[in-house]
Chains A and B, each alone.
Chain A
Amino acid sequence: MDLLLTILSIPLVQAILKIVAFVLVFVMATGTVMTLMERKWMSAVQDRIGPNRADMPFLGGLKARGAFHILADGLKSIFKEDTVPEGADRFLFTIAPFFALVAAMAIWAVIPFAGPWGPVTFQITDLNPGLVFIFAITSLGVYGAVLGGWSSNNKFALLGSARATSQMLSYEVFLGLSLVGLFMVYGTLQVGKIVELQNTYWFGDLVPKWGVITQPLAFVMFFTAMLAEAKRLPFDAPEGESEIIAGYFLEYSGMRYAAFMLAEYVAIVGVAGLTTTLFLGGYHVPWLHAGGFHLLGYVLPLPAWLVFLLQLGSFVFKVIALCWFVIIIRWTVPRFRFDQIMDLGWKKMLPVALANVVITGLVLLAWDWLA
């Protein structure tokens, strides 16, 4: 027992355990489920039923409304032939899906799942320059698309990569600027601190200082940029099924294709996780503090484990709800052309983002001056 506690107290062991729990158990599983949920939810929007036929022969043909399609997809990908096209750059072709996957998962390093419970924190690492880390990792995501498309020796795939690059050039700038407003308000780059400060309140303890309330414009811009980052509609020009077949991962098959698909859905969960953390109060339940609920002078004390469960539940709920929203958006809006994306990024979003920074600065100055 003592030995176990000693081992558990090693930071590296803790970090590995957290990576397994958060990334492998939560993020990968949610991403995988999203591959099915996208199909189920889109069919609900389109007056269809969606996949519901995969059954379990060992469980008496149990269908569970199509839940086993996930297993069927996995099995199919494993047994598909893994082809490398003629003239492809074999090495880059092989590693490209993992670039995409790793970049999609790496942002979870700085996302807290729940508040600290005693000495244990539920965040893999609270990097001091957390926001900068997020910028760095999100811009890495495009490498998977670029390498995959470029190494495939296929013109459509190359077009997909070119579109991914042009799209990245368009959204990356206002993505960064939208977060500038956020760290002007909270005065820190550390993600854990930003989340903690979102549990402070205005007007006594009435209105939580969530990012979406302090920086509504930045929220819209950040969410837009993250949709582009995850290559979701209306910014799925790199894939553009109707124009360039599947875009950058056109030549992939088998498990590598599955890795690209999974990366895409893990990126959706990443979008949801980041937006939750930076703008929707992270794991915080409104008015829930470490000791219990505080509202208008009333206090409802809660045990630490219940607070932890509420926080974890709130985080998971927000993430799933945002994933749902990302998917619903896909079935609502049509695709932008890539010149339209550039137009949007450089001519509309960039000025608005700059104005947001200036106005935030002025408001903060006025606030200090009045106080």
Chain B
Amino acid sequence: MAHDTHDSHGHHHAPAHTAPGALRVRVVERHDGLTEAVYLPAILGGLRITIKKFFRNILGKRDVVTIQYPEEKRRVAPRYRGRHRLTMREDGFIKCVACYMCETVCPAHCIHIEAGEVPDKSVEKYPVVFDIDELRCVFCGLCVEACPKDAIRMDTGIVAMAYSSRDRFDYTRDLLRDDYRPNEKTKYRAVPLPLSDEEALPESRGRAGT
């Protein structure tokens, strides 16, 4: 007992304060009476809540918090870090200049870039390959902060990627472009420089284009 020393003083059987660090016991009031033993009052109390809920929700659906996912989507905070996207210039060319800043800063080593030369001399380089392994990504957002050109963002609002095969999580450059529309037959809108057309850029063979 922590109070033994206090008690030995004499009349003070109940100490005014407890010694610091002493074990304090909170006495929970037990309800052991007949009303508890027959269960029924407690069950009726529970039924009152469940039946009230039942009728509220059946009649008005007022308390239902379900979001009907594919049709309805949860509102994502503006700062939420979702799947990446590669932003575009106004003329439709990809903003990325293949500076390797994001690949360098990425703690998960999930970005893989291969640079290529652009015929347009205003920009020095562009990414021939820009792959993100979304399975390795830790969604820290450092790539977005590192980018000097505002070329990569994580503001797509895509919070969940679900595929049945691991390959599908390897997002290639063209899948990451923010003008990519998965359901369209033609993958790209106005693209002045034919990025995925290998004939136009003979030196960029390899994994470019998808």
Contact = CB atoms under 8 A, between A and B. Distances in A.
Interface of A: 41, 43-49, 220, 328-329, 331-333, 348
26 contacts: A41-B54, A43-B57, A44-B54, A44-B58, A45-B50, A45-B54, A45-B57, A47-B53, A47-B63, A48-B65, A48-B66, A49-B61, A220-B40, A328-B47, A328-B50, A328-B51, A328-B54, A329-B43, A329-B47, A332-B43, A332-B49, A332-B50, A333-B43, A333-B46, A348-B37, A348-B38
Nearest to B59: A44
B47 A44 contact: no
Interface residues of B, number: 19
Contacts of A46: 53
Interface string B24-58: 00000000000001101001001101110110011
B1 interface: no
Interface centre among A41, A47, A328, A333 (most CB of B within 10 A): A47
Interface of B: 37-38, 40, 43, 46-47, 49-51, 53-54, 57-58, 61, 63-66, 68
Contacts of A348: 37-38
Contacts of B66: 48-49
Given A45-B53, A45-B54, A220-B40, A332 B46 contact: yes
Contact of A332 (B47, B57, B58): B47
Given A41-B54, A331-B50, A47 B65 contact: yes
B193 to A, nearest CB: 43
Given A47-B65, A348-B38, 4 more contacts: A41-B54, A49-B64, A329-B43, A332-B50
Contacts of A43: 57
A49 B66 CA distance: 7
A49 B53 CA distance: 12
A41 B54 CA distance: 7
A47 B54 CA distance: 8
B143 to A, nearest CB: 37
A49 B37 CA distance: 35
B51 A44 contact: no
Nearest to B49: A332
Contacts of B37: 348
Nearest to B67: A49
Give the 3 A-B CB pairs with smallest separation, nearest first.
A44-B57, A332-B46, A332-B50
A333 to B, nearest CB: 6
A220 to B, nearest CB: 7
A328 B46 CA distance: 10
A144 B9 CA distance: 70
Contacts of B65: 47-48
A52 to B, nearest CB: 8
Contact of B64 (A48, A328, A329): A48
Contacts of A220: 40
Contacts of B46: 332-333
A358 B68 CA distance: 58
Q: Which of B49, B61, B64, B68 has the most CB of A within 10 A?
A: B64
B60 to A, nearest CB: 11
From B47, B50, B66, name the one whose CB has the most chain A CB atoms within 10 angstroms.
B50
B51 A47 contact: no
Nearest to B51: A328
A47 B52 CA distance: 11
A172 B65 CA distance: 42
A67 to B, nearest CB: 15
A43 B64 CA distance: 9
Contacts of B57: 43-45, 47
A345 B22 CA distance: 44
Contacts of B68: 49
Contacts of B47: 328-329, 332
Contacts of B53: 44-47
A220 B44 CA distance: 13
Nearest to A352: B38
A49 to B, nearest CB: 5
A220 B40 CA distance: 10
A273 B136 CA distance: 58
Contacts of B49: 332
Central interface residue in A45, A328, A348, by most chain B CB within 10 Å? A45
B97 to A, nearest CB: 46
A48 B47 CA distance: 18
A332 B66 CA distance: 21
Contacts of B43: 329, 332-333
B109 to A, nearest CB: 40
Nearest to B55: A44
Residue from A220, A328, A332 whose CB has the most chain B CB atoms within 10 Å? A332
A328 B49 CA distance: 10
A215 B117 CA distance: 93
Contacts of A332: 43, 46-47, 49-50
A329 to B, nearest CB: 7
A328 B43 CA distance: 11
Contacts of A45: 50, 53-54, 57
